[in-house]
Structure 1
Amino acid sequence: MTNLSSPAPLDGWTHIYSGKVRDLYAPADGSDDYLLVVASNRVSAFDHVLEPPIPGKGALLTALSNWWFERIALPNHLVSEQGSAPAVPGEVRDRAMLTRKLEMHPVECVVRGALTGSGFAEYQRTGAVCGIELPAGLEDGDELETPIYTPAYKAPLGEHDENITFEQSVELVGEEVATALRDASLQIFTAARELAASRGVVLADTKFEFGNDPRTGELVLADEVLTSDSSRYWDAAAYHDETLSRADRLASFDKQIVRNWLASHWDRTGEPPVLPDDIVAQTYARYRELYVRLTGGEPPYAPVAV
């Protein structure tokens, strides 16, 4: 990942890590119980962080994660009472999560309810995804009768995650933990897919991350959950409309607008071009539409004017 600059300092917190979108902070006093997870407005594509960011994206993703956390009947990493943690700074309050510090598992827990993306590419080559044999003749975007769990190994920073089989995940974390990760992921996905369907949205696939609470050993859901950046959502009406092109049927509620524009305006050499204002606005509008469709409420940031 290139073009990733250090975020601004936060009072009471020390920056310890930055990913594509999120910045992590630990308490500046050295205590080891909490983390502050801040969702930035950064947008990335083709291994580059792009300019400008998408105003309001971080707050929207955080609000959507929090909405889902409230509806998932499994322990999560959010801290409801501040306790001895430093105060969450006002400048990031709408896009920050105060969390417990966990012992994270090196497995990205991917669940697929439809065959697309890297899963479809692997299926075309092998007839299977992460060792799971699938029926012949499936096409890009086809829903699967039963969701499948296709884990990935979380690669070190700067490297790409690697799809693995369930058996390989057992080698990484042991059979008991691997089974718990799979079962929890499928449980969450199944319930979330039903809820999304009731709102006219297809949840095609998603990824979860889990850790263990070092004090209790409890398995805990962490990171973001079921957001536009961690999940692929399609409009149900468009998806089932056979008169539309496959691209229109599978138009996702995420940064695909950015990818499409960049692919047609950049040959992937040198620095990527600056995103036009209308692409920034359209991208935010797509994120916002999913939030409104799922939650029925307004996001915590006014939409960007086109």
Structure 2
Amino acid sequence: MPTTLLQSDLPGLELLHRGKVRDVYALPGNRLLIVASDRLSAFDVVLPDPIPGKGEMLTQISNFWFGKTGHLVPNHLLHTPLGEVLPAGTDLALYDKRAVVTRRLKPVPVEAIARGYLIGSGWKDYQATGAVCGIRLPAGLKQAQQLPEPIFTPSTKAAVGDHDENVSFDAVVAAVGAELAGQVRDATLTIYKWAAAYAAERGIILADTKLEFGTDEHGKLYVMDEMLTPDSSRYWPADEYQVGISPPSYDKQFVRDYLETLDWNKKAPGPRVPAEVIERTAAKYAEALRRIADIRLD
């Protein structure tokens, strides 16, 4: 059965960062221990109720994709057994499917986004300007329509509590240099195209995805953090897809829809979430894991 972990507690390890979902610890040898909790964030606020097993599902689908795309772009995983790095007395079963040992990299300060369909902030930008991140698109496109070719649409890495902002490729070049910017763009589109084709064979549309990259001490580029999860990607069931509407997706949309019915200002603290909404959200993550990776955690 899936485990539930709201917040990790690993005495003796240095906690570097506690994010909305992941807790990151320092390990000897220029390594990290990354733990995916079951915390749920919506509208950039961490909610008080976890989604049981969510961290396990996110980690397993990331590991699946890291394994499948390792021939395309190197990634941060080191495959070190957790028993070698967890403090003595730690419940290994609690961390076994939700924690990984990785290289400690220098993050590239950009959200690397590939879009194959016109949805979300890209759709809003297109409606306003006819372009996304400075890329001019054909006139007359509709919501959720497939683009002629996948495009690289980066955004800034916002501070906690702020929202990321779509930027042009030239802005990425200005931030990190032309060579690294080109490597990030090419790696993002290569991974997206390969994964989208793989998902399509399983009756799923990968509409877009956000990737994170880092470099080692030699400047070599790696994909890191999470990869092609329902938190970082839009997955749509192909048999429910139609142009002109926002298709149902394998993510926390149930939670967002519920929160939109409340008199809540979308600032912390977040409201409690009913058990039914939690269960339906967990079921969506589980369905994505099963359909894409053929992995079940029950």
TM over 0.5: yes
Q: 2:64 aligned with 1:62, yes or no?
A: no
Which of 33, 38, 63 does residue 35 from structure 2 map onto? 38
Matches within 5 A, 1:90-239: 90=92, 91-214=94-217, 216-239=218-241
Paired residues, number? 286
SS at match of 2:97: helix
Contact 1:26/1:32, CA 8 A, preserved across alignment: no
Distance, in Å, in 2 between the alignment partners of 1:174 and 1:269 is 36
Q: 2:16 aligned with 1:16, yes or no?
A: yes
Distance, in Å, in 2 between the alignment partners of 1:118 and 1:70 is 30
Distance, in Å, in 1 between the alignment partners of 2:108 and 2:272 is 36
Letter in 1 for 2:283: A
Q: Which stretches of structure 1, 4 residues or longer, exceed 4 Å deviation after superposition?
A: none
Measured after TM superposition, the shift of residue 82 of structure 1 is 5.3
Q: 2:48 aligned with 1:51, yes or no?
A: yes
SS at match of 2:68: coil
Q: 2:261 aligned with 1:264, yes or no?
A: yes
Measured after TM superposition, the shift of residue 127 of structure 1 is 0.5
Corresponding residue for residue 81 of structure 1 = 80
Distance, in Å, in 1 between the alignment partners of 2:158 and 2:45 is 18
SS at match of 1:227: coil
Q: 2:281 aligned with 1:279, yes or no?
A: no
Contact 1:266/1:272, CA 8 A, preserved across alignment: no
TM-score normalised over the length of structure 2: 0.90
C-alpha offsets along residues 123-158 of structure 1, whole Å, 9 cap, x if unaligned? 111110000000111111111120000011212333
Corresponding residue for residue 251 of structure 1 = 248
Which stretch has the larger CA shift, 100-109 or 263-272?
263-272
Distance, in Å, in 1 between the alignment partners of 2:103 and 2:81 is 11
Measured after TM superposition, the shift of residue 269 of structure 1 is 6.5
Letter in 2 for 1:234: W
CA-based RMSD: 2.0
* Identical aligned residues as a percent: 46
- Structure 2 unaligned spans of 5+: 1-5
SS at match of 1:87: coil
Corresponding residue for residue 3 of structure 1 = none
- Structure 1 unaligned spans of 5+: 1-5
Distance, in Å, in 1 between the alignment partners of 2:195 and 2:245 is 24
Measured after TM superposition, the shift of residue 100 of structure 1 is 0.5
